[in-house]
């Protein structure tokens, strides 16, 4: 994915904490099969549930709704990118129809993060 000047990149080092320490715009229940070659402790299948009362993310032995690389999860984590667009581009596999759109809705933020510093 090409980045433009002023864009912000993040790396999810502690996946369950990153997913539970952020707010969600809508309730969501989704299971993610995550690949992470740089932080292998993030690799696995994770169930995320979030609503207005909080969120939980735990490793589970069940089929995934979405399969993705940790880099792609990082790119949508701050709400500025679309997971559905990554599915359309073939970078994320959607096993349960509508799962990407539901997670996109939950990840929505009215003001996306901005970094005016060029690295």
Does 29 have pLDDT greater than 90? Answer: yes
Q: How far is CA 100 from CA 8, 40, 76, 88, in A?
A: 22, 23, 11, 10
Domains of the chain plus CATH, in order, are 15-107 (3.30.1050.10)
What is the mean pLDDT of the segment spanning 72-83?
85
* pLDDT tens string 44-66: 999 999 998 899 999 999 999 99
Percent of the chain residues past pLDDT 70, beyond the cut: 84
What's the mean pLDDT in 8-34? Answer: 91
Q: Which residues contact 107 (CB under 8 A, 6 or more apart)?
A: 24, 25, 76, 77, 79, 83
Structure-token match 């979405």, residue found: 66
pTM here is 0.85
């Amino acid at each position: 994915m090409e980045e433009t000047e002023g864009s912000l990149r993040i790396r999810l080092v502690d996946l369950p904490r990153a997913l539970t320490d952020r707010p969600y715009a809508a309730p969501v229940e989704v299971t993610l099969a995550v690949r992470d070659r740089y932080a292998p402790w993030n690799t696995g299948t994770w169930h995320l549930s979030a609503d207005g009362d909080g969120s939980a993310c735990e490793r589970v032995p069940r089929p995934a709704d979405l399969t993705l690389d940790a880099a792609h999860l990082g790119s949508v984590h701050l709400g500025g990118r679309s997971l559905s667009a990554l599915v359309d581009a073939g970078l994320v596999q959607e096993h349960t129809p509508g799962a990407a759109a539901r997670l996109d809705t939950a990840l929505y933020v009215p003001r996306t993060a901005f970094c005016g510093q060029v690295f």
